């Protein structure tokens, strides 16, 4: 009896809560795959275990690692991530079944399962081999150099790959990878360390113009540097999404560090003006904006790389209506790249607006837990790092979901944890591992 009470004291209650929530998430994932098989195949076959069991085993192994290596970590982050990741695998499997019926061979679901297991293993490695995230402060400028290097890689000759008009990938043979996904982690570490060092000088005000207290001219240097970097990404790689993601991340982190909204206002103004100027030069950016503003125009609808994909996605969402067609009951395969860029419209068609809002709520809760970790931390670097890692997920969701629903121009980013893509899964699970490590240090300090 005494021994069992000792174990209960060692393992906090939140780990048991995590186990129960994880069981619920995996139960939902199992239901999704079973529903798809019954709807499309009218039988549950052996593929059920192929697409469910590896993720379930990997998630529970990760949970066991947390019980002993990060016992004070947040109890909601892992179940929420598994819930989203499992839904993504189920929807990609559903699209694969439609492709098989049409005789296609370019399938993604099995690859997504493999990449999910690899990504969860990477997150577990972060928890196992990074006893304290604060060691990253020693490598702030190294992280910045690595981040910029990863951003430049797609335009390097011989290894860079241009797909659908954008240079986002590197490739060796048949293997392709999107280095920008890992760059967002490295640059978040750099921004956190740099802004902690410079937050006092950045908070100093300069002249007051029209009632607005402006920062000193020399303190606008960092904004100019990262604004220029984002424009270079936009021009060379023709990637509006990545450019907006990294510059937006920097603006949010500088606001968090200084509490001065003027930096955000100046930065957004610079980005909008420069984006409009680049668009006037024509080409990729102008085409994206035209397709966004006039998607139903025949000139844009029929053009190569035009608005056909966007319009088909909107029709899919309309077909789903409020309650959806049910998993396996829609025709989401009519949308090009439905398993990656437009997986949100696939989910919206089959789960409806209600189901889509439920998915959004999971993302909001995930980001809120990350912000909560930041708020509860006493260390400035940890606070900024947690905010940055959480916000990069939030901003990426906004850019992707806003693109497929015509809130903002369409970009080439992927929906975190849902869309097909190994580089995206790997980067986002590493973010999850870092957030769990940071949250463990918060609770340990409180104890």
Domain spans of the chain, in order of start: 2-446
Q: Please state whether beta strands 205-209 and 212-215 pair in parallel, antiparallel, or not at all (unpaired).
A: antiparallel
Of 430, 364, 368, which is closest to residue 401 (Cα–Cα)? 364
Give pLDDT, residue 2.
43
CA distance 132 to 85: 27
Residue 435 has pLDDT above 90, yes or no: yes
Give pLDDT, residue 261.
76
């996605």: which residue's tokens?
A: 313
pTM: 0.89
> Which residue(s) pair with 209 in the sheet?
212
Q: Where is average pLDDT lowest: 156-165, 316-325, 369-378?
A: 156-165
Q: Could you give the angle at which helices 140-152 and 221-237 cross, rounded to 10 degrees?
A: 30
Higher pLDDT: 32 or 222? It is 32
pLDDT class of 8 with cuts at 50, 70, 90: very low
Most confident among 3-17, 157-171, 350-364 (mean pLDDT) = 350-364
**Cα–Cα distance list, 125 to 84, 235, 433 (Å):** 21, 36, 8
pLDDT tens for each residue of 251-301? 888 888 877 777 777 777 777 777 667 666 556 667 777 778 888 888 778
CA distance 144 to 416: 23
pLDDT class of 7 with cuts at 50, 70, 90: very low
CA distance 343 to 334: 12
CA distance 214 to 229: 23
* Structural Rg of the chain based on CA atoms: 22
């Amino acid at each position: 009896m005494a021994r069992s009470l000792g174990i209960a004291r060692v393992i906090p209650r939140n780990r048991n809560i995590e186990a129960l929530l994880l069981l619920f998430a995996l139960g939902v994932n199992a239901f999704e795959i079973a529903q798809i098989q019954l709807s499309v195949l009218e039988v549950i076959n052996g593929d059920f275990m192929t697409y469910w069991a590896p993720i379930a085993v990997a998630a529970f192994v990760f949970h066991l690692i947390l019980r002993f290596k990060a016992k004070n970590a947040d109890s909601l982050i892992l179940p929420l991530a598994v819930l989203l990741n499992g839904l993504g695998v189920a929807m990609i499997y559903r699209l694969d079944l439609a492709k098989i019926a049409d005789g296609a061979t370019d399938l993604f679901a099995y690859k997504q399962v493999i990449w999910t297991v690899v990504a969860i293993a990477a997150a577990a490695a972060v928890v196992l081999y990074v006893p304290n995230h604060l060691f990253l402060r020693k490598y702030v400028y190294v992280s910045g150099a690595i981040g910029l290097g990863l951003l430049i890689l797609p335009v390097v000759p011989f290894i860079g790959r241009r797909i659908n008009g954008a240079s986002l990938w590197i490739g060796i043979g048949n293997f392709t990878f999107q280095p920008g996904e890992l760059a967002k982690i490295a640059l978040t570490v750099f921004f956190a360390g740099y802004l902690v060092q410079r937050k006092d000088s950045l908070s100093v005000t300069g002249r007051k113009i029209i009632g607005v207290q402006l920062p000193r001219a020399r303190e606008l240097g960092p904004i100019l540097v990262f604004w220029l970097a984002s424009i270079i990404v936009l021009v060379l790689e023709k990637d509006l999404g990545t450019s907006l993601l990294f510059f937006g991340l920097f603006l949010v982190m500088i606001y968090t560090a200084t509490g001065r909204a003027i930096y955000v206002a100046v930065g957004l103004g610079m980005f909008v003006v420069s984006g409009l100027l680049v668009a006037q030069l024509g080409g990729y950016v102008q085409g994206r904006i035209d397709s966004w503003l006039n998607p139903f125009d025949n000139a844009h609808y029929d053009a190569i790389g035009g608005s056909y994909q966007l319009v088909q996605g909107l029709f899919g969402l309309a077909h789903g209506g409020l309650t959806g067609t049910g998993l396996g009951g829609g025709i989401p395969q009519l949308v090009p790249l439905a398993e990656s860029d437009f997986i949100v419209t696939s989910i919206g068609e089959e789960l409806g607006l209600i189901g889509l809002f439920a998915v959004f709520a999971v993302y909001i809760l995930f980001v809120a837990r990350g912000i909560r970790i930041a708020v509860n931390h006493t260390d400035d670097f940890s606070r900024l790092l947690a905010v940055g890692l959480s916000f990069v997920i939030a901003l990426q969701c906004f850019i992707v979901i806003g693109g497929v629903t015509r809130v903002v121009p369409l970009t080439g980013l992927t929906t975190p944890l849902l869309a097909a893509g190994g580089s995206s899964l790997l980067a986002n699970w590493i973010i999850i591992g870092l957030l769990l490590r940071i949250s463990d240090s918060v609770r340990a300090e409180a104890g």
